[in-house]
Structure 1
């Protein structure tokens, strides 16, 4: 099997849609990063500006990195570089999950519970990234299940979190998680034409909802 046949999964039309849709996501994420940092700098509680700015910035940066790598992966022609960016693309999902947790751990919960959850999530994300870098697409199914499980660990701290943030933040957070999860069947059916492109739209929608969740945290 050649490198070209190993990585070519989608039609040219699908790849154009995939790269353009997540290219738009990268642009929106760059704007979101700026808005989040400004929001944190201007509105964070007294004495917590550093935690808010840092955690909001990490979330915004993880959004941008995910959409950037996804765009580059889908835009590349089927050669060795595409294989490399496929690893970056999947690894950045772990990065986004951990980045999304960060404001909730450090800014909303903080304290022992927040820092413990922060360490657990980032540790699991780092493990996932390392395993995917080593084993690649052989862990595709395991990785997909892990993404969902990591994303929903938040329900273990639902009670303290719901007391620490505005109701709108919880609504947007849960809605975003549901939308991300609802996109998983389309990801699983990616061998069928346009299914992966539809998955991209769910990812965009989930990201928008989580942006508002973090933005309205303060």
Structure 2
């Protein structure tokens, strides 16, 4: 009996070993299948996102970025030395906004890179608002008033940037009104803008604010969405941004011209 038991032990061990190898192979095969399926799902999701993104997404700011760069260089060169830092701030915030927006919206990025670029893209809106106020306030308003305005606007912009960095998924109904409210701080100082810069400058500031606001509302409401495959609500937002920026750029140029 002991001899028969001894002869069965090796066969049992081999059977267990073979069963273990088959189980391990089955686990590896299943893991490979899961990995392949996950890759296919990820690729499919990427294709779906690409299919949903309008064909013109990002192109508006891609075209605007180099134009803004050239225009801002001219603006800085024409600004008297004592006020040049104001237009440098405006120029940097302008070029950075359009450039980062173009990079973010034109590329197909990994989730981590997308989150980083989105933070920069949304933060740059606050930066441009404060950057636009800088030359207009410093050139057109009395110095104590300008200091108060810029303190309010830059503090609000910094708070907005921190919010977007920390809370990337903040709902649109929260941060879009903050953009709009911060942008319309100028309404209280329009008479002073008109007194120094003239009626045309004041109306350019108003027109730019309206363009920004219309674009922001389209973005917040996701409406109108005229041609989702080519030109959707987000493109309306970008068009509003460009129109608003052009109006304010001309206003800043007029403010600079008043110093000559």
Q: Distance in 1 between matches of 2:56 and 2:178?
A: 26
- What is the deviation of 1:136? 0.8
Moved more, 102-111 or 182-191: 182-191
1:18 counterpart SS class = coil
The aligned residue for residue 58 of structure 2 is 19
The aligned residue for residue 72 of structure 1 is 103
Contact 1:166 1:216 in 2 (8 A): no
**CA offsets 1:139-170 (integer angstroms, 9 cap, x no match):** 43211000100111111122222212122211
2:209 counterpart SS class = helix
Task: Give the count of matched residue pairs.
Answer: 207
Contact 1:76 1:82 in 2 (8 A): no
Q: Gapped runs of 5+ residues in structure 2?
A: 1-40
Indicate whether 1:141 and 2:173 are aligned. yes
Q: Distance in 2 between matches of 1:153 and 1:54?
A: 22
- What is the deviation of 1:117? 0.7
The aligned residue for residue 174 of structure 1 is 206
Q: TM-score, normalised by structure 1?
A: 0.86
**CA offsets 1:7-33 (integer angstroms, 9 cap, x no match):** x8674652x422221111111110121
| CA RMSD in angstroms, aligned pairs only | 2.3
Contact 1:94 1:128 in 2 (8 A): yes
Q: 1:89 to 1:39 in 2, by over 3 A?
A: same
Contact 1:3 1:78 in 2 (8 A): no
The 5 A counterparts of 1:31-46 are 31-41=70-80
- What is the deviation of 1:211? 0.8
Q: TM-score, normalised by structure 2?
A: 0.73
Larger of the two Rg values belongs to structure: 2
Moved more, 16-25 or 90-99: 16-25
Indicate whether 1:61 and 2:92 are aligned. yes
The aligned residue for residue 242 of structure 2 is 204
- What is the deviation of 1:183? 1.4
- What is the deviation of 1:81? 0.6
Q: Gapped runs of 5+ residues in structure 1?
A: 42-48
The aligned residue for residue 21 of structure 2 is none
Contact 1:152 1:177 in 2 (8 A): yes
Indicate whether 1:160 and 2:192 are aligned. yes
The aligned residue for residue 233 of structure 2 is 195
Q: Distance in 2 between matches of 1:21 and 1:180?
A: 15
Indicate whether 1:117 and 2:149 are aligned. yes
Q: 1:200 to 1:123 in 2, by over 3 A?
A: same
